[in-house]
Structure 1
Amino acid sequence: MRSHAILTAAQMRKAEEAVIASGVPEYELMERAGAAAAEIIWRAGGKRDLLLLCGPGNNGGDGFVIARLLRARGVPVRVAAPGESRTASSLRARAAWDAPVEPVFDAAPATQIVDALFGTGLSRGLDAKLAANLRRLTDRASFSYAVDLPSGVQTDTGELLSDVPLSGLCIALGALKPAHLLQPASGCWQRLICADIGIDASGTKMQRLSPPHLLRPEPRAHKYSRGLVAVMGGEMAGAGMLACQAAARAGAGMVRHITPDKVHGGPGAIVTQQARTAADIARSLGDSRIRAVLAGPGLGRGKDASDRLKPVLGSGHPLVLDADALFLLAEAGLDAIPPGAILTPHEGEFVRLFGNLPGSKIDRALEAARCSRSILIYKGADSVIAAPDGRVVLSSAGSSWLSTAGTGDVLAGLVAARLAVMGDGFRAACEASWLHGEAARRAGAAFIADDLLVELPAAIASCL
């Protein structure tokens, strides 16, 4: 199953309760979970000897089911636990195992290890002795699996509550959880699979970023019908030009670079329009054919930059505000942000603009979107896209090579282009974020921001 729905720990409990209320016994749900995980482990590891670590709760119960089903397939299985099972379903699963259970602290290593100690809902870390044994056994195994989440991970925040060893495969049960996409937890496995156990997650407003479905221009399309993007230039022409080129390659029919000075170089397809005064800029932005305006890349942070930003904010056009524009807005206050704008802050810009909001990165993004009445792309190794109405999309960790100058300018240009093409700000933010990550994947290693531009046509072609 390829699931894009994400549930918090509380939402997962409610979803499970709904299944049980529909007539499915709780233990049957445990059997489903164990069977789904056992099938994945069987396909990955075959008949290699295996050690299952089972905790006291229902995650441990899933582990006992896995052990029983794999043993029936001829896998040499041992089970170890730190103590007795404590829930009705886990006690039943343990009884059905009908074989010895070793003390976890005395367990010998195996070729395969399955961590079913603690899954969703963990509120505190493992004790030091148990965490050390989990690492010892995982490090000695050739194949390692985590059931639902690795033990020691906080479900809703992605925080590591104790030492968490790297697993080869994490098997999410029923739906993805926030920690499957948030750092640092999402760096604790090499591969992630979501197993279907009959959970209905259709009502969630939280989704994983997925490839967009893009449309080719219509046969009668022309440069203005496809969308005119205006990019407000400033002190650093190169940053603005990167954004312009990204917008031009991401579907916009025309890109206009509004600059205080002449810009030399760059593609001939980018129209450069010189505008130094606020009145000049207002006239440039008075074109009713403009579908999106981007301000921030290379804008500057002084008075001149502030003067150039004001007509943008008052233009009435759909806006994308990035980089230096966010710095200036932090000084002006949130009321200066026109409703519906798309903001693209990294961590430092976010804190400067919104302060140290409480909660997980998801909580902070949603609160910032609500109070600013804007769509947010809260960038980082884990990016969160949030809308004022509570919709949120989480992006998997992208290429670490994106940590180089100019890649944010490229993303801002992509957002502006997608906004100009179809006018939906939240969708534009999601499409642009996916295309940005896909271009980085195609660029490989040690790329620079300009290299992303080369990969954009192929990234877009893959979504048509």
Structure 2
Amino acid sequence: MDGPPILTAMQMRAAEQAAFDAGTDPYALMEKAGAGAAEIIWRTGHRRDTLVLCGPGNNGGDGFVIARLLRDRGVTVRVAALGESRTASAQRARVAWDGPVEDMLIAAGAGQVVDALFGTGLTRGLEAPVAARLCELVEGATLSHAVDLPSGVGGDDGALLSDVPRYGICVALGAFKPAHLLYPAAGQAGRLALVDLGISLPGTVRRLGSPALTMPGPDAHKYNRGLVVVIGGGMAGASQLAAVAAARSGAGAVRRLAIGGMVAEPHAIIQRRAEQGDAVARELEDERIGAVLAGPGLGLDQEAGGRLTAALGSGRPLVLDADALTWAAKDAALSVPGGSILTPHEGEFQRLFGDLRGSKVDRALAAALRVGSVVVYKGPDTVIAAPDGRARVASGGSTWLSTAGTGDVLAGLAAGRLAVTGDPFRAACEAVWLHGEAARRSGAAFIADDLLRALPAAIAARL
């Protein structure tokens, strides 16, 4: 479940400085970074004619190393620079290249372009002529690579600071940066690769990795595997989707508390009628309950508020989604118990927490700390944040998830995994990964119901 670390520019500089203080030669680290990137570029482009674009800083120095090593493999390489090299290591790398250096603004294109102009720490966009020429060169190439980051993106928040072309591969050096996974910058590369520099890195914020799930033991039964209660409302289909997702998450039993008439659903899901808050409160007295989900299809009328109040006061582990988040945002008297899981999309997040500062990771962590709960900040880049400072980022999933009901499925998965594990952060991470994997297995133009059918195979793949 723990993928590679994600570091801001400041954190990456601190990690590198710690390595230098421990005796690592800065130029040796540049050579290692360039060698790792050159290997990836070689595997992709082989002997394709290559133009390496080098900036004035250490990212440009990496570019000179890449150019030299590709040339040593027999690749026809040209280098074009944007000014003189300014750092000691970049100057050494430029001398070691010992070949001609063209002016980037007038250099001819090539079949393969390597962007080593600017890496982490960029705080303003490229000058318009530079950005335009970069786009022209990259878009005219058959293959393209960005070294560490595409030039023109904000490394810490994923913002596009100027016009940025789309690259085939972005080669991250040492660690992923927020911009590799946060949109819109995350959309500027078709694929990510990572070069391990062998230095110690902090790991509180990481890319979401695949979970290690376990099968029920020989002593398992439906209640010790996890009992989930889903509190329904006027939109029965939403709570039904969530209930089925919880049932297919690995939980042992699911009850859906319905209002009005019952709906057809898998016979394995228990349906009970509980329209008023006091009826819900009685249902939640069962000590065997491992998780309660409120929100999908809950409604915004007075009775729905009573059902939510019963859930919030039940003392059971909670997952809050959709209408429950709307209620929490508009009614200050509703207090979210610590240790819950909240699953807001962008609009719900804004209503709940206001205009927080920083990147999406920063905002998710601030929100989690404020409510003392795990926040799953949904979107094309989903951030799972815990109040203790841990965060996982999932990005690059199926865009077909932008369809009705998929959020209900995710909420049901989170409740199911919470009932199974008892750990809100782990449960949220497992739910997000399974949700994305089910979408991948469902192919194109799927609907939320299709995710439910794909879940058993997604779980089986991680046993």
Task: Give TM class, smaller chain.
Answer: over 0.9
For 1:12 and 1:49, locate their aligned partners in 2 and report how far apart those are by CA, in whole Å.
32
Q: How far does residue 229 in structure 1 lie from its aligned partner after superposition?
A: 0.1
- Answering whether residue 242 of structure 2 is matched by residue 243 of structure 1, we say yes
Matches within 5 A, 1:354-373: 354-373=353-372
For 2:199 and 2:442, locate their aligned partners in 1 and report how far apart those are by CA, in whole Å.
37
For 2:274 and 2:106, locate their aligned partners in 1 and report how far apart those are by CA, in whole Å.
75
Q: How far does residue 397 in structure 1 lie from its aligned partner after superposition?
A: 2.3
* 2:113 counterpart SS class: strand
Q: How far does residue 197 in structure 1 lie from its aligned partner after superposition?
A: 1.4
Does the 8 A contact of 2:276 with 2:303 survive in 1?
no
Q: 1:254 aligns to what?
A: 253
Q: 1:68 aligns to what?
A: 68
Counterpart AA for 1:44: T
- Answering whether residue 101 of structure 2 is matched by residue 108 of structure 1, we say no
For 1:265 and 1:258, locate their aligned partners in 2 and report how far apart those are by CA, in whole Å.
14
Does the 8 A contact of 1:3 with 1:176 survive in 2?
no
Q: How far does residue 73 in structure 1 lie from its aligned partner after superposition?
A: 1.1
Q: How far does residue 65 in structure 1 lie from its aligned partner after superposition?
A: 0.5
Q: 1:39 aligns to what?
A: 39
* 1:257 counterpart SS class: strand
Does the 8 A contact of 2:3 with 2:209 survive in 1?
no
Does the 8 A contact of 1:342 with 1:425 survive in 2?
yes
Please say which of residues 408-417 and 256-265 is displaced more in the overlay.
256-265
Does the 8 A contact of 2:229 with 2:292 survive in 1?
yes
For 2:115 and 2:179, locate their aligned partners in 1 and report how far apart those are by CA, in whole Å.
16
Deviation string 1:250-305 (CA, Å, 9 cap, x unpaired) is 01100000112231211101100111222211111100010000000000011111
Q: 1:278 aligns to what?
A: 277
Does the 8 A contact of 1:175 with 1:199 survive in 2?
no
For 1:335 and 1:24, locate their aligned partners in 2 and report how far apart those are by CA, in whole Å.
54
Q: How far does residue 70 in structure 1 lie from its aligned partner after superposition?
A: 0.9
For 2:199 and 2:60, locate their aligned partners in 1 and report how far apart those are by CA, in whole Å.
19
Q: 2:196 aligns to what?
A: 196
* 1:243 counterpart SS class: helix
Deviation string 1:124-178 (CA, Å, 9 cap, x unpaired) is 1110000111011111111100000000011110001011101011100011111
* 2:395 counterpart SS class: coil
Counterpart AA for 2:227: L
* 1:214 counterpart SS class: coil
Q: How far does residue 433 in structure 1 lie from its aligned partner after superposition?
A: 0.1
Q: 2:140 aligns to what?
A: 140
Q: 1:57 aligns to what?
A: 57
Task: Give the 3 Å change call, closer, same or farther, for CA 425–398 of structure 1 in structure 2.
Answer: same
* 1:395 counterpart SS class: strand
For 2:233 and 2:369, locate their aligned partners in 1 and report how far apart those are by CA, in whole Å.
30
Counterpart AA for 1:260: I
- The unaligned stretches of length 5 or more in structure 2 are none
Q: 1:150 aligns to what?
A: 150
Counterpart AA for 1:345: P
For 1:170 and 1:140, locate their aligned partners in 2 and report how far apart those are by CA, in whole Å.
17
* 2:93 counterpart SS class: helix
For 1:395 and 1:208, locate their aligned partners in 2 and report how far apart those are by CA, in whole Å.
6
Q: 1:166 aligns to what?
A: 166
For 1:221 and 1:58, locate their aligned partners in 2 and report how far apart those are by CA, in whole Å.
57
- The unaligned stretches of length 5 or more in structure 1 are none
For 1:354 and 1:280, locate their aligned partners in 2 and report how far apart those are by CA, in whole Å.
31
Please say which of residues 56-65 and 270-279 is displaced more in the overlay.
270-279
For 2:187 and 2:327, locate their aligned partners in 1 and report how far apart those are by CA, in whole Å.
34
Q: 1:402 aligns to what?
A: 401
Q: How far does residue 335 in structure 1 lie from its aligned partner after superposition?
A: 6.2
- Answering whether residue 128 of structure 2 is matched by residue 128 of structure 1, we say yes
Please say which of residues 326-335 and 244-253 is displaced more in the overlay.
326-335
Does the 8 A contact of 1:234 with 1:240 survive in 2?
yes
- Answering whether residue 461 of structure 2 is matched by residue 462 of structure 1, we say yes
Q: 2:414 aligns to what?
A: 415
Q: How far does residue 332 in structure 1 lie from its aligned partner after superposition?
A: 2.0
For 2:79 and 2:332, locate their aligned partners in 1 and report how far apart those are by CA, in whole Å.
58
Task: Give the 3 Å change call, closer, same or farther, for CA 62–156 of structure 1 in structure 2.
Answer: same
Q: How far does residue 334 in structure 1 lie from its aligned partner after superposition?
A: 8.0
Counterpart AA for 1:293: V
For 1:330 and 1:377, locate their aligned partners in 2 and report how far apart those are by CA, in whole Å.
16
Q: How far does residue 3 in structure 1 lie from its aligned partner after superposition?
A: 5.7
Does the 8 A contact of 2:3 with 2:208 survive in 1?
no
Q: 2:214 aligns to what?
A: 215
For 1:397 and 1:334, locate their aligned partners in 2 and report how far apart those are by CA, in whole Å.
38
Task: Give the 3 Å change call, closer, same or farther, for CA 335–19 of structure 1 in structure 2.
Answer: farther
Identity of aligned residues (%): 64
For 1:138 and 1:313, locate their aligned partners in 2 and report how far apart those are by CA, in whole Å.
54
Does the 8 A contact of 2:228 with 2:416 survive in 1?
yes
Does the 8 A contact of 1:291 with 1:420 survive in 2?
yes
For 2:442 and 2:34, locate their aligned partners in 1 and report how far apart those are by CA, in whole Å.
39
Q: How far does residue 93 in structure 1 lie from its aligned partner after superposition?
A: 0.6
Deviation string 1:170-195 (CA, Å, 9 cap, x unpaired) is 10001111111100111101110001
Q: 1:319 aligns to what?
A: 318
Does the 8 A contact of 1:335 with 1:372 survive in 2?
no
* 1:86 counterpart SS class: coil
For 2:303 and 2:78, locate their aligned partners in 1 and report how far apart those are by CA, in whole Å.
70
Task: Kindly tell me the number of residue pairs found equivalent between the two proteins.
Answer: 462
- Answering whether residue 6 of structure 2 is matched by residue 16 of structure 1, we say no
Counterpart AA for 2:415: A
Q: How far does residue 6 in structure 1 lie from its aligned partner after superposition?
A: 1.0
Superposed CA RMSD: 1.0
Counterpart AA for 1:448: I
For 1:197 and 1:435, locate their aligned partners in 2 and report how far apart those are by CA, in whole Å.
31
- Answering whether residue 159 of structure 2 is matched by residue 178 of structure 1, we say no
- Answering whether residue 6 of structure 2 is matched by residue 6 of structure 1, we say yes
Q: 1:436 aligns to what?
A: 435
Does the 8 A contact of 1:246 with 1:410 survive in 2?
yes
Does the 8 A contact of 1:251 with 1:418 survive in 2?
yes
Please say which of residues 270-279 and 144-153 is displaced more in the overlay.
270-279
Q: 2:423 aligns to what?
A: 424
Does the 8 A contact of 1:3 with 1:194 survive in 2?
no
Task: Give the 3 Å change call, closer, same or farther, for CA 366–379 of structure 1 in structure 2.
Answer: same
